[in-house]
Chain A
């Protein structure tokens, strides 16, 4: 007897970005097996092409229908998911390029690194488009598991392994919590399908379970978003992971998790009474994240660790917008955050290969403006973008978020964001100042030069310091500036600047994307 398998409907056109990422993963894995430089080159190239196709397809799809059911009703492609796909693919592209010639990737294998990044991006694409609970969990794990491996991929570095292990253990706890939440949600409504959940909420005899379900879901996704006090894995994992991976996950994970959380909460759980539950929780978590993230980042000596804490604070700003349902502001700020963060990591990564003995230590940035003016400009734009200073996309991103909060009568949180921004200057600025300073550790000889107009009276002794190479690790050989890193950094920085000069398209796109999300209801 032949069982008739009822195949779901596929909208291959709409699936194109997701398929590109998945296909790219397979191709990269296979091509990476080729020996020598050829394999490395082809694997990276396939990754670049795959992410490129994904981005291109997503851009083309933007105006083709507000919402398309790609795989039955489980995967929905709309402008919100497209936005997430673009950002995730962009950061995957960045991650691939940063990893391409980085120290340590040799051991991990190029095909594998590229493939894992693409796999994770694939998971993110699915997560962002997920419209039922099964797909959500599937996407979540598809996103997370490659990341565990990526974090641990510098197998000859203790920190990398530690990072992978910590992420695995804690991430699994988070996933399990989220899964438990999903289960309760399913139990409460009897449906896996988000619009149905919204519709049937209150019909079931187990409807009371929806509240603990929501609580666990928020905890689970809050963990992925690294909201305080669920944030503690973030600095450690970001710190230990290879820089390329940190760059990728700090942006992409947040993007996917935010979009799915927005979909889940606003589409599935947007009912008044449920909303009354999650809104205060989210606001509290956002406030805690803003405080703890900004405070924790102060005085961190490592750039990756600093960015880890900063990402906690940034998640706070983003979730604040989410809590009041301002998805437009959320996406606008998210885009600004993404490009700024990628710019910063490009600079950190470029510096890492030039000053391997310093790694991501903040002192590696000393005197960058003199040595590598381009990198200094990029780094400045990126960090100022994160701080939300003028002429960067972050400035208007913050305008949008603060405006949304004021509109929703949550001015206190806007003020908290302001205070957080002020504190954040105290850690975003030091790397910038170090980049631009000329009297770094090498200034000892320079002080004998004839007096110039730049001379300063405060001649504090300049001592080289802060270099903390891990013991027992053979310092890798410095390499020159990797052009692909400079290129991707420049592109990202250009976007930061563009968003700061002419933010109207960004704001409009974000509004469109958020409208798509609400169009589901």
Chain B
């Protein structure tokens, strides 16, 4: 299966590159083939995962840069299998959708998307710290270039939002880069072994808590900015405004999840002491993101930003799940990553369709009344919005339930505050739907409208089918990561518990006895 693993990364990239060489005629075809093939490979790989086992199901470890101890070590395990599958799915939908607009889907653009896909997949499957960091930084660049398409006007500030996207998010990434190097070198000093960036080797040896703290700080800078978490979200409104929508769908759906994944893959296992020390900070950041994001999403008039701020809030939930250091929270975070991505993609598609029906206007106060003119669109919109606000019965609800459950076990107050966000989510999602689709016709909406075409219907049907799967059988998404997520939170979790016990707190996080047993 290692061949498939390589093909997973290489095939979309190769397809994109050949498309670049082949020109306008073949590039779309190759892009479709590449993304589809990646999806098939991801599915094959995901099937290899044994849910009861947290070790890698498919593992490839080859030398890359021996001179500085960096290896090309990639693997599929329970933690990343579902996310990898998700990534290929989202990229496939996004790429196919892009093909609708030949102006947009130039060979260069398709190759950029392919680079993005390879980088994101690389970050998910990386088992080497430098490889992870490299992919983490790299995945941003294609989207910056794509966002650059929309950088309007001349003068200094016209390219500002794109520049901000690049610089702001890379600040964090570069810090993480330094921290990664420091982590490996210091670990090597501790163990007396030659420097290696292989995660498996790093997991065993934990650093002194004081060292962990500054390293975690750098990792946090990278992850929190990329997610983004309030107040580190300053880059995203501009970026959301300039990015073409198909790319935005991918960007909003996937890139933030890599950061969330990074917490589980890197931060929690490698820096347990620091994570436990700063758990409260993370919880508070998560809560602030949830409430703040929801409130602004509820207030703003730009649909893109509603989407964006709601993502901030939802990412807050993911962070909340992670910071619970509880298996349920971690499972919830991973599953929320999946469900949120699956809902963002159709949401962006719908946003595009709505704006198309309003002459390109993207202002909520000028929209309205589209439902009457486009009943199919309206129905699909409704389904997506219901998933978006985590209606019980959807996969998104299961994810939020697990997140809140995990947090409840350690800090009920945080779960209670977070649940305000659940109500607010309903408020902004419905406000968006009502504002866009219902009530009387908005100023920008023409008298006679048309419903959506077959291509969009197909795309939305696919997305909604995916949503239906996670709604009906959430277990499909939860099962593979069961053991792996438990393993990921275990170091920090056990540390947290021992500290609590030492502190004489009798009610340790409220995990039932047998559950604590199963954590081991």
Name A's B-contacting residues (CB within 8 A): 299, 363, 369-370, 373, 376-377, 380, 384, 389-391, 395-396, 399-400, 402-403, 406, 414-415, 418, 421-422, 425-426, 429-430, 432-439, 441, 443, 451-466, 502-504, 507-508, 511
| Interface flags, B208-250, vs A, CB<8A=1, else 0 | 0000000000000000000000000000000001101110000
Is there an interface contact between B166 and A425, defined as CB atoms closer than 8 Å?
Answer: yes
- Smallest CB gap from A436: residue in B: B148
Is there an interface contact between B148 and A451, defined as CB atoms closer than 8 Å?
Answer: no
10 cross-chain pairs, A with B, having the tightest CB-CB distances, nearest first: A436-B148, A460-B153, A433-B148, A390-B138, A456-B150, A451-B360, A454-B244, A457-B362, A437-B151, A390-B134
Which chain A positions have C-beta within 8 A of B175?
A: 418
11 additional A-B pairs beyond A396-B65, A456-B244, beta carbons within 8 Å, are A369-B149, A400-B68, A422-B174, A433-B145, A434-B151, A438-B150, A439-B149, A452-B103, A460-B158, A461-B153, A504-B67
Is there an interface contact between B106 and A437, defined as CB atoms closer than 8 Å?
Answer: no
Cα distance A430–B97 when bound, in Å? 28
Which chain B positions have C-beta within 8 A of A363?
A: 154
Which chain B positions have C-beta within 8 A of A406?
A: 181-182, 185
Which chain B positions have C-beta within 8 A of A507?
A: 65, 67-68
- Smallest CB gap from A299: residue in B: B156
Is there an interface contact between A369 and B108, defined as CB atoms closer than 8 Å?
Answer: yes
| Interface flags, B99-126, vs A, CB<8A=1, else 0 | 0110110111000000000000000000
Cα distance A430–B154 when bound, in Å? 11
| Partner among A402, A432, A443 whose Cβ is within 8 Å of the Cβ of B148 | A432
Which chain A positions have C-beta within 8 A of B356?
A: 451, 453
Instruction: State the Cβ distance, A35 to closest chain B Cβ, in Å.
Output: 41
Is there an interface contact between B355 and A437, defined as CB atoms closer than 8 Å?
Answer: no
Is there an interface contact between A437 and B103, defined as CB atoms closer than 8 Å?
Answer: no
| Known contacts A373-B107, A425-B167, A456-B150, A436 near B66 by CB under 8 Å | no
Cα distance A436–B151 when bound, in Å? 9
Is there an interface contact between B66 and A429, defined as CB atoms closer than 8 Å?
Answer: no
Is there an interface contact between A454 and B245, defined as CB atoms closer than 8 Å?
Answer: yes
Cα distance A380–B244 when bound, in Å? 20
Main secondary structure of the interface of A (DSSP, over half): helix
Is there an interface contact between A373 and B106, defined as CB atoms closer than 8 Å?
Answer: yes
Cα distance A171–B269 when bound, in Å? 57
Q: Does B64 make an interface contact (CB < 8 A)?
A: yes
Is there an interface contact between B134 and A395, defined as CB atoms closer than 8 Å?
Answer: yes
Q: Does B462 make an interface contact (CB < 8 A)?
A: no
Which chain B positions have C-beta within 8 A of A390?
A: 134-135, 137-138, 141
Is there an interface contact between A429 and B163, defined as CB atoms closer than 8 Å?
Answer: yes
| Partner among A454, A466, A502 whose Cβ is within 8 Å of the Cβ of B154 | A466
Cα distance A422–B167 when bound, in Å? 7
Q: Does B489 make an interface contact (CB < 8 A)?
A: no
Would you give 17 A-B contacts (Cβ < 8 Å), ordered by A? A369-B108, A390-B135, A415-B178, A422-B174, A425-B170, A429-B144, A429-B163, A432-B144, A434-B151, A436-B149, A439-B150, A439-B151, A453-B97, A461-B153, A463-B155, A464-B154, A507-B65
Is there an interface contact between B65 and A503, defined as CB atoms closer than 8 Å?
Answer: yes
Is there an interface contact between A456 and B154, defined as CB atoms closer than 8 Å?
Answer: no
- Smallest CB gap from A407: residue in B: B185
Is there an interface contact between A437 and B159, defined as CB atoms closer than 8 Å?
Answer: yes
Q: Does B93 make an interface contact (CB < 8 A)?
A: no
